[in-house]
């Protein structure tokens, strides 16, 4: 089956061969777009977070076959530079596995809230697990990114 | 078998069976023609099973483009919520009319899960731990089910038949849930190990109806199905002189809720802990709603 998707600003054609294939698998294994990470395939970790028609979702739980003509933004196309720079500057990246998903969630949060409080940040990032940083530096990075974007 | 798999691997352009209609009637026709097809709404239950190869759907029916399922309407005394309205929209759009369901929706998973997960999927899965169920029980919601031969409405009290079992039959689609608008304060309390992303150890919903002078209850994760606590609902409360609600009455209410539960020991908690936690949650919910109704007279619930 052939599908047309709009991914990170490009028109892309994907071939899939079973109805239950996830968008995460299509992005990574069929299209070589490995920005979105696979760390659980059960919606728990958020490392596969992408924007589907603007909303953050776990790509591992979306059947690709339902995405004909829809807009997908991964870490490559969803994240403004100040957000990426703040993560680096604040030490919010250690092993980096959670980072692409977190960046997408943060980009979504900052598009809605230009000066989020700590509780708002924790709520928005509740679906993104990080085993390295202890989260404090990630929260610092969100405040920095918010300031730099204003 | 090996040969078949190899053949599948080289040819990726063979047609696959995946249907995404915009009308319920087309969806029902498709299910009748292809009984093996699996419906999918948000995918937050189903796709976990697909990814882990617990199920391998030969054909799928995507419900997310069916216009009727993705909208809610104000029916006067109740809200009719399309089964495919995601939790995020219930939280954002229905918190005033349906505070209990909105509070429960707010505790589901994470933002990513709430953007996709639906009450229809929660009901169809019929897990005793489904967070939408207690507030639907507490408010006396009705489930609308579409079948090829027509539509029927099932009271939430009659919907669940066992763990992960319900009256929903193969070939049917849950189209909507009709929830009476709040006629008083409502509460949803959930016990879990974290403040996000947890399947509940136990949960409790309470809806005060100030017009009818009744209390509605719903218990989650403490029985083979979600349950109501009927003896607690029947407890005499001082409606005519609300200041006379005593600690003893509130505690009695909590004990009656705990006694109505039918919990088991499992990885998330023991039966004894669940009963204890339910008694605490129920007493707290009654106190909070009573205070909101009679002391603060807040505008929160209407
Ligand atoms: C990380 C994570 C966290 C979660 N946290 C919670 C939580 O806190 N609380 C909670 O209650 N649940 C939780 N869940 C479970 C899940 O999100 C909910 O049960 C959700 O309501 C399922 O809805 P869905 O639309 O995604 O269902 P789907 O996965 O699309 O479908 C589930 C099942 O229902 C069937 N189905 C779906 N819609 C219909 C319909 N309209 N008519 C007939 N059949 C239908 C499907 O065929 C499938 O068998 C969590 C899941 C994940 C992955
Ligand atoms: S890989 Fe999708 S949430 Fe973990
Ligand atoms: S930096 Fe390693 S998981 Fe977050």
Task: Express each pLDDT in B160-170 by its tens digit.
Answer: 999 999 999 99
Chain A contact set for B88 (CB, 8 A):
55
The CA distance from B68 to the nearest CA of chain A, in Å, is: 18
Q: Going residue by residue through chain A, which has 150 residues, state the pLDDT in tens, using 9 for 90 and above.
A: 999 999 999 999 999 999 999 999 999 999 999 999 999 999 999 999 999 999 999 999 999 999 999 999 999 999 999 999 999 999 999 999 999 999 999 999 999 999 999 999 999 999 999 999 999 999 999 999 999 998
Classify domain B67-180 at the CATH topology level: 3.30.465
Architecture of domain B186-294: 2-Layer Sandwich (3.30)
**C-beta of residue B16 within 8 angstroms of C-beta of residue A2:** no
As a whole number of angstroms, the distance between CA A97 and CA A50 comes to 15
* A120 Cβ inside 6 Å of ligand 3: no
Name the pairing type of β-strands B78-82 and B173-180: antiparallel
pLDDT at residue B40 is higher than 50 = yes
What is the average pLDDT score of chain B?
94
| ipTM for the assembly | 0.98
Which value, to the nearest 10 degrees, does the dihedral of the CA atoms of residues B21, B24, B29, B34 take?
60
> CB contact, 8 Å: A61 with chain B?
yes
| CATH number, domain with residue A102 | 1.10.150.120
As a whole number of angstroms, the distance between CA B64 and CA B46 comes to 14
Q: Domain ranges for chain B, please list them.
A: 2-21+33-62, 67-180, 186-294
As a whole number of angstroms, the distance between CA A121 and CA B274 comes to 31
Q: How many domains does chain A have?
A: 2
Chain A contact set for B115 (CB, 8 A):
55-57
**C-beta of residue B19 within 8 angstroms of C-beta of residue B60:** yes
As a whole number of angstroms, the distance between CA B129 and CA B277 comes to 15
Residue where a domain terminates, one of A20, A42, A76: A76
Q: Phi/psi class of residue B264: alpha, beta or left (left: φ > 0; alpha: ψ in -120 to 50)?
A: beta
| CATH number, domain with residue A9 | 3.10.20.30
**C-beta of residue B196 within 8 angstroms of C-beta of residue B172:** no
A126 to B196: CB separation less than 8 angstroms, yes or no: yes
Residues near ligand 2 with C-beta < 6 Å?
Answer: A 38-41, 43-48, 58, 60
| Beta strands across the sheet bearing A49-52 | A10-15, A2-7, A71-73, A49-52, A55-58
Tokens 């507030």 correspond to what residue? B135
So what's the pLDDT on residue B5?
39
Please, which pLDDT band fits residue B12 given cuts at 50, 70 and 90? low
Q: What's the burial of B146, exposed, middle or buried (CB within 10 Å: 0-12/13-18/19+)?
A: buried
* A131 Cβ inside 6 Å of ligand 3: yes
In DSSP terms, which residues pair with B61 in a beta bridge?
B19, B39
The CA distance from B132 to the nearest CA of chain A, in Å, is: 19
Chain B contact set for A40 (CB, 8 A):
none
**C-beta of residue A64 within 8 angstroms of C-beta of residue A14:** yes
Q: Which residues make Cβ contacts (< 8 Å) with residue A145, sequence separation at least 6?
A: A82, A83, A85, A86, A87, A106, A110
Residue where a domain terminates, one of A76, A106, A127: A76
Tokens 């948000």 correspond to what residue? B42
Residue B49, classed as helix, strand or coil, is helix
| Closest among B49, B39, B125, B18 to A61, alpha carbons compared | B49
As a whole number of angstroms, the distance between CA B40 and CA B47 comes to 8
So what's the pLDDT on residue B297?
55
Same domain, A89 and A115: yes
Write out the two tokens for B120: 């229809």
**Mean per-residue pLDDT, B111-128:** 98
Using DSSP, how many helices (H) and how many strands (E) does chain B show? 11, 13
Query: Ligand 1: which atom is nearest the Cα of residue B69?
Result: 41
Same domain, A68 and A91: no
DSSP E strand stretches across chain B: 17-19, 38-40, 59-62, 72-74, 78-82, 142-147, 150-155, 160-162, 165-166, 173-180, 186-191, 202-209, 214-220
**C-beta of residue B168 within 8 angstroms of C-beta of residue B124:** yes
Chain B contact set for A2 (CB, 8 A):
13
**Mean per-residue pLDDT, B227-252:** 97
| pTM exceeds 0.90, yes or no | yes
- Measured from the Cβ of residue B42, the count of other Cβ atoms closer than 10 Å reads 26
DSSP state letter for A59? G
**Mean per-residue pLDDT, B195-219:** 95
Task: Express each pLDDT in B90-110 by its tens digit.
Answer: 999 999 999 999 999 999 999
What is the average pLDDT score of chain A?
97
Same domain, A51 and A87: no
pLDDT at residue B135 is higher than 50 = yes
Please, which pLDDT band fits residue B1 given cuts at 50, 70 and 90? very low
Q: Which residues make Cβ contacts (< 8 Å) with residue B52, sequence separation at least 6?
A: A41, A42
Apex A131 CA angle, A87 and A31, nearest 5: 70
Write out the two tokens for B178: 């009709």
Cα-Cα-Cα-Cα dihedral sign, residues A119, A125, A129, A131: negative
Using DSSP, how many helices (H) and how many strands (E) does chain A show? 6, 5
As a whole number of angstroms, the distance between CA B51 and CA B260 comes to 37
Percentage above 70 pLDDT, chain B: 93
| Closest among B143, B217, B216, B218 to B179, alpha carbons compared | B143
Query: Ligand 1: which atom is nearest the Cα of residue B117?
Result: 26
**C-beta of residue A104 within 8 angstroms of C-beta of residue A97:** no
* A105 Cβ inside 6 Å of ligand 3: no
Task: Express each pLDDT in A40-79 by its tens digit.
Answer: 999 999 999 999 999 999 999 999 999 999 999 999 999 9
Residue where a domain terminates, one of A52, A76, A100: A76
Find the A130 Cα to ligand 3 centroid distance in Å.
Answer: 5
Q: What is the domain extent for residue A70?
A: 2-76
Q: Phi/psi class of residue B267: alpha, beta or left (left: φ > 0; alpha: ψ in -120 to 50)?
A: alpha
């Amino acid at each position: 089956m052939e599908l047309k998707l709009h991914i990170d600003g490009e028109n892309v054609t994907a071939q899939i061969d079973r109805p239950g294939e996830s968008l995460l698998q299509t992005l990574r294994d069929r299209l070589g777009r490995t920005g979105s990470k696979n760390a659980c395939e059960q919606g728990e970790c958020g490392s596969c977070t992408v924007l589907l028609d603007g909303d953050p979702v776990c790509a591992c739980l979306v059947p690709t076959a339902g995405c004909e003509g829809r807009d997908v933004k991964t870490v490559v196309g969803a994240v403004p530079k100040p957000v990426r720079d703040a993560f680096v500057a604040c030490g919010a990246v250690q092993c980096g596995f959670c980072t692409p998903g977190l960046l997408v969630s943060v980009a979504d949060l900052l598009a809605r809230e230009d000066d989020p409080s700590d509780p708002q940040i924790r709520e928005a990032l509740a679906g993104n697990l990080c085993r390295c940083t202890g989260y404090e530096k990630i929260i610092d990075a969100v405040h920095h990114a918010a300031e730099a974007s204003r | 078998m090996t040969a078949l798999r190899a053949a599948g691997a080289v040819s990726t352009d063979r047609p696959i069976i995946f249907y995404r209609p915009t009308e319920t009637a087309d969806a029902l026709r498709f299910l009748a023609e292809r009984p093996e097809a699996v419906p999918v709404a948000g995918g937050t239950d189903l796709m976990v099973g697909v990814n882990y190869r617990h199920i391998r759907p030969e054909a799928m029916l995507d419900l997310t483009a069916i216009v009727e399922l993705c909208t809610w309407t104000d029916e006067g005394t109740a809200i009719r919520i399309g089964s495919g309205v995601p939790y995020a929209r219930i939280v954002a759009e229905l918190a005033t009319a349906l505070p209990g369901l909105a509070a429960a929706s707010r505790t589901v998973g994470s933002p990513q899960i709430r953007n996709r997960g639906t009450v229809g999927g929660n009901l169809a899965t019929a897990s005793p731990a489904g967070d939408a169920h207690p507030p639907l029980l507490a408010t006396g919601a009705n489930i609308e089910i579409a079948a090829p031969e027509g539509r029927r409405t099932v009271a939430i009290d009659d919907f669940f038949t066992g763990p992960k079992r319900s009256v929903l039959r193969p070939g049917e689609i849950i189209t909507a849930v009709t929830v009476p608008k709040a006629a008083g304060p409502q509460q949803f309390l959930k016990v879990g190990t974290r403040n996000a992303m947890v399947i509940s150890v136990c949960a409790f919903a309470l809806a005060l109806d100030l017009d009818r002078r009744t209390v509605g209850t719903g218990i989650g994760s403490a029985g083979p199905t979600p349950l109501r606590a009927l003896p607690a609902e029947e407890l005499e409360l001082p409606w005519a002189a609300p200041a006379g609600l005593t600690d003893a009455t509130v505690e009695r209410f909590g004990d009656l809720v705990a006694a109505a539960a039918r919990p088991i020991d499992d990885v998330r908690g023991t039966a004894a802990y669940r009963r204890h936690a339910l008694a605490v949650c129920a007493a707290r919910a009654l106190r909070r709603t009573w205070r909101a109704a009679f002391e603060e007279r807040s505008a929160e619930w209407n």
